[in-house]
Chain A
Amino acid sequence: MADCFGRSVGLPTMSKSTSPEVLFHRLEPLLAQVSKPIQYVGGEQNSVVKRWEDVTVRWCLMYPDAYEVGQPNQGVAILYEILNERDWILAERTYAVWPDLQKLMRAEGIGQFTLDAHRPVKAFDLLGVSFSTELGYTNMLAALDLAGIAIHSAARTADDPVVVIGGHAAFNPEPVADFVDVVVLGDGEEATLLISDIVREWKDQEQPGGREGVLERLASTGAFYVPRFHDVSYHADGRIEAVTPNRPGVPARVRKHTLMNLDAWPYPQRPLVPMAETVHERYSVEIFRGCTRGCRFCQAGMITRPVRERSIETIGTMVAQGLASSGLEEVGLLSLSSADHSEIGPITKQLADRYEGSNVSLSLPSTRVDAFNIELANELSRNGRRSGLTFAPEGGSERMRKVINKMVSEDDLIQTVATAFGNGWRQVKLYFMCGLPTETDDDVLAIADMAKRVIDTGRKAAGTKDIRCTVSIGGFVPKPHTPFQWAGQASAEVIDARLAKLREAIRSDRRYARSIGMRYHDGEPGVIEGLLSRGDRRVGAVIEAVWRDGGGFDGWSEHFSFERWERCAEQALEGSGVDLDWYTTRERDRDEVLPWDHLDAGLDREWLWDDWQDALEGMEVDDCRWTPCYDCGVCPQMDTAIEIGPTGRQLLPLSVASSPLVADSRS
């Protein structure tokens, strides 16, 4: 049997150990009838197809959104390479299928397929789903069902893959507990290899205990969470009473995985290069992982501690290899706050030196106002592009920023903006949140004042009126494992009313109205994100009801339906004593058992609570990279430590060979 490009991929049979049917020839006639068919074709540069029979453990990795969003995901890219490097493992990828093709596939009896060899997802040993956001939950159900896999973990048989989830949203997997078999907390590099080892051993021993057997082996490590092995009991008022293991050998708490020494794990090295258009068309290098700035709203900063930097040399090697193997021209230096790398100056300058005269461009997607400096900005814009700068003060008033511990003063921001406008920039984008704990109308209206000051300062510094400030505002959603996990979420009505007042404040002042743009979303989607973020197992019924009602692609405003979620929540939660408001706008008290309390991100619960109390009083906390440890608990609990430079090392210039294609001038 050959795949769509004529590569041999083994013969079709029904059993799991021998090669499954290749679906492309059945899929192909359908592709000419759907929108953007290239997204289902695969065969991208650097993709890997292995013979089914040559390996013991087979992973299907899924990003539960459309290809154009999922393909650039770093997590999937890293795991795809690491798993495929082992000769006894194969890893292929699958993405959410749009309704037009889903419908044709169901009519033709074709199941969810992988892009790499167009194999049926059901044939794999493991289906790993990466959740950056909770809004992919309905897409996971759609994919499971389209694959012919039972959506409920309890109903699956030996013929079904083990469904593993990871990613930031998996730090509270309770809303999808009924649909998944295994949950991984934290970094996936070593975790997926450990799962692979355990599965291989279990298969080599003729699969003792069947499906339960392998799940028990995984759970017994304390490093993997099998929701089915834990029972949840509730108080009469709806709060959780306890979460307890329901069989021997299953630890009560499950710990997160932390990858140390990022230099030993320089992935992705050979990034997949899509033919289809995607949301990020660049080679991204994670320059460090983790963040200890301590912004209280930021789940990523809490659950990825401690900070672990990649060295300048590894970054340089990764960039050179990544560009050579992909042919991309844009490099993103990724992290949660890229300007905080201890050697960010040398890294950007030396990379800019290396690629001077080429069309390679560098970008720092996340930069803090206080870590930004104009030399850095100049290095990043050597090729002359000074289109826009983006900062995220997050809170409009000084008081608000103290509550959320985003320690950026307005004067710092104005100073930075003045320098930038004086150096040729003409546009600044500012990100804020609305609906933060203790927030009042005045805190949000302060955003307008700040934007006006930016314009005033910018006009003076630039000597022209032709400058712009765009204010972009998102509704705040409290997240698990953060100090705000106890907070009541602002209702959609409160958020919409505050944004309306802010819009009016900006519009009404004719001196600024045309220079300040405002971008925001309605408050309603945030309510559902809140339900899914801090929900418990009872929310699973809501997700299932929404999917059965036709819901999916919830991250897309044209597909998301608040009305459907609200209606399904009302129906699915009827008689449980809890409702949408109970999950979202209700403030939790100190002793309430939270759905994720048995999942250990390393953070000390007492410290989180104290930090929540400090927030309410507007007390700030410093970054432990530069001030003494404040006992958040992660390093001792996880036996980890901060890994930062500076190393003082340098990048060597790349030898630039002339093209081997150039004709010999002597001939």
Chain B
Amino acid sequence: MQRVRVQYAKRGAARFTSSRDVSRALERSLRRASVPMAYSSGFSPHPRISYANSSPTSAATEAEFLELGLSAQCDLDKLAAALDGALPKGLDVVAVAASDSRSWGELLQASTWLIDLGAVDGDQLSTAVEAFLRADQSIVRRMTKSGVREFDARAATHRLRHPAGDDEGSIEVVLAHTTPLVRPEDVVAALRELQPDLNTGKPALTTRLNQGVWTDGVMVNPLTNQPWP
């Protein structure tokens, strides 16, 4: 069995897909693209796909990862093109590479998120970002399946930049993949707590720009082992 890793993106309206929606669409696309999948054995065989930590519904992403188990050796460029062609609009294959022995947990330890807070005052956002970075911890509460839980958004933050590019209403944050996982919306909640005027009443738009291993201020791409651009 050949194992290959796939980096894919969720763009445009496809960001509204849940991880279950993606897996359904992917399995059908693999069949349409005639990808020779290996199947699990047993009563109800499933194609061998392992998903790395999925981004939440309504977040766009440029860097999701999964691994396919193939029943025959494939030409990776052809595989990438065929799968990309078969996937629904907005789900795009970015890169394909042969797997190595490292696990997703070793390869994916942090993510860079672009967060658009909407029509907010740039100076107020800047003040909140500075206060957030000065603090030792920043506890936010969020409803989870097991009730309201507390998360330390500050402890998970490797880096926080404002503005992101030219947009005064956006920030870029590098978050460690902690357990329990701190999400970009937790950082937004922390900033809104520090500066209530930032609360527009609408959820912020988040996009995962990349993920990998964060070392010495650089994020390393798990497929190329090179820093992300």
Contact = CB atoms under 8 A, between A and B. Distances in A.
- A-side interface mostly: loop
Interface string A243-284: 000000000000000000000000000000101110001000
B13 A28 contact: yes
A277 B12 CA distance: 20
Contact of A659 (B16, B34, B44, B88): B34
Given A4-B12, A32-B203, A38 B82 contact: no
Contacts of A5: 12-13, 89-90
Contacts of B82: 660-661
A462 interface: no
Contacts of B39: 359
A326 interface: yes
A570 interface: no
B35 A659 contact: yes
B33 A328 contact: no
A45 B73 contact: no
Interface residues of A, number: 41
A124 B165 CA distance: 42
B202 interface: yes
A244 B35 CA distance: 62
Contact of B12 (A6, A40, A661): A6
A136 B31 CA distance: 35
Contacts of A323: 31
Given A33-B203, A327-B30, A660 B16 contact: no
B223 interface: no
Contacts of A41: 13-14, 16
Interface string A16-46: 0000000010001101110011101111110
A663 B74 contact: yes
Contacts of A28: 13
Contact of B16 (A37, A658, A661): A37
B31 A327 contact: yes
Contacts of A276: 21
A500 interface: no
Nearest to B74: A661
B35 A329 contact: no
Contacts of A194: none
Given A4-B12, A327-B29, A660 B78 contact: yes
A201 to B, nearest CB: 36
A385 interface: yes
Contacts of A327: 27-32, 86
Given A32-B205, A33-B203, A327-B30, A384 B43 contact: yes
Contacts of B90: 5, 43
A38 B21 contact: yes
Interface in B175-229: 202-203, 205
Interface string B6-32: 000000111011101110110111111
7 contacts: A4-B13, A32-B205, A273-B25, A327-B27, A327-B28, A661-B79, A663-B74
